[in-house]
Amino acid sequence: MTQLVTPAGGIALRPDPRALPRNPAFASDGPRTVTLSFNDNALLPMLYGEHDRHLARIEQRLGVRIASRGNRVTISGGAESTELAESVMRSLWQRLERGDATGMAEVEAALRMADGPAEDPRLPLADMPAIRTRKGAIAPRSRTQATYMDMLQQHEMVFGVGPAGTGKTYLAVAQGVALLMAGRVDRIILSRPAVEAGERLGFLPGDMKEKVDPYLRPLYDALHDMMPADQVTRRITSGEIEIAPLAFMRGRTLAHAFAILDEAQNTTPAQMKMFLTRMGEGTRMVITGDPSQVDLPPGQKSGLVEALSILDRVEGIGVTRFAEGDVVRHPLVGRIVSAYGRAEAAAEGRGAPRGKMKE
């Protein structure tokens, strides 16, 4: 048994297990037991979760056994899986010591971050960079999200491509809000192509805003997560935040703005070129979409797919590709995405037309 002595201030600190040589066979180098001690009993219920559900999830995901007694937690299992569980517990404890909320979503995030590639030099989740808005810091929940957040900070144009539920649009909106609050851009422009998702909506009554709002609702939802509702309304009224369908972009030059094109897989090549060439001085652009969810008429090429091919390796453009393992919604969503991916791969293998997975 390895006994860790806790220094004043919290959990015992050990070398980051991901910096150690990692054996792909968890138990091949024998079982291991680690005991962690914590110095603040008031935080333990949030660390363990209701009825120890956080500990149970870590056990299930990593194949270890976790026993808690008072302020001590004992982790037993294969050497590498034990190290990963220890890293997860340390990350969660650091969050709690900073006063951050820690629920099942944060447990899942810590598990994704800890179980990354051995060569990735990133720190545990608690030490990752965050996008800061007035409603708090928004931290990455997967390693790909962390890479995406780095690109949003470093590049003038970023493509975020991958399945539903990976946080592509949410993090882009968060970055835009953070830059607007800091005075680094004058306005945020949020746009989507007005394409029905496999339905025919027909005639919509009302004025132009009422007609296009249903297409743009996810962008409103993300904004309201970042800012108080009255501030969102005020900034929309003043023009600091503009939400418009893609067709309204033609002929404009966007200067000192943070522009997001969401659902870009439903743009035509001409629409995509039109949007990308709207960039003016001091503007940043983010283009998000999922090539597996194209709702264009049969035979119509997706502007997103074409742009990714044409702009590959163009200086100043960053591309982050999310995968099924990066889904950060309910864990079941990730399993649903994986199941659809397997079904589509099997259909393609039989020569059947590729299906479209919906959110």
CA triple 293-294-295, angle to 5 deg: 110
Q: Which residue has the higher pLDDT, 4 or 238?
A: 238
**Residue 130 confidence (pLDDT) above 70:** no
| Res 293: pLDDT | 87
Taking only the tens place, the pLDDT of each residue in 324-333 is: 878 877 667 7
State pLDDT tens for residues 225-261.
888 889 999 999 999 999 888 888 888 899 999 999 9
**What pLDDT sits at residue 243?**
86
Against a cut of 0.75, is the pTM above it?
no
For the purposes of burial, counting CB atoms within 10 Å of the CB of 237, is it exposed (0-12), middle (13-18) or buried (19 or more)?
A: exposed
Question: 94 or 128: whose pLDDT is higher?
Answer: 94
Structure confidence at residue 203 as a pLDDT band (50, 70, 90):
low
Task: Determine the pLDDT at residue 258.
Answer: 96
**pLDDT tens for residues 136-174?**
677 788 888 888 998 998 899 999 999 888 989 999 999
Asked if residue 177 has pLDDT above 80, the reply is: yes
pLDDT, mean over the chain:
79
pLDDT at 19: 38
Q: What are the structural domains, with CATH classification, of the chain?
A: 2-125 (3.30.1370.10), 130-349 (3.40.50.300)
pLDDT at 15: 37
pLDDT in tens, 292-322: 888 888 888 999 999 999 998 899 899 999 9
Q: What percent of the chain has pLDDT over 90?
A: 31
